[in-house]
Structure 1
Amino acid sequence: MDLGLKNKIAVITGGSIGIGYAVAQAFAREGVHLALCARGEERVREAAQTISREYGVKAVGVRADVSKAEDINNFVKEIEKEFG
């Protein structure tokens, strides 16, 4: 299915496991580049690497707890650095 999302960027919180990871995979299948965050640094980085390798999109994984303003600000800075 082509949803016309190729080369767009999606920001997904909780993107390292479960529903968040499934959503990330679905976007990646459509050619969407991804910024993932989750509380577990190793797991979110591995998720981003796996998705990038399997679907050929740019995916970054950042450790962030969305209940903390400082983590959100750092996540946004990382998105700006990686995607402009």
Structure 2
Amino acid sequence: MVQIGAFDSNALAEGEWNRVSGKFGSLFSGKAQVIQKAESGGRNFWRLRAAGFESRDEARRFCAALIAEGIDCIPATAK
């Protein structure tokens, strides 16, 4: 899994997924959207993640491709 960002609402996270997956369609082929609600410091936020990687190396390559285009991305583990 990789994390593409953290947002103030589920709707903002979905919007970012649509924007980024639309721009990089082939890169997102076979990847699933995962939005996880989380809390930190009494504040709720929504993590936008992509799942469907065969290995941690594949997740790292995916992130490297996004980062090269100015999109935040970090390999993450499911919690």
Global fold match (TM > 0.5):
no
Greater strand content: 2
Shorter-normalised TM-score: what interval? Answer: 0.3 to 0.5
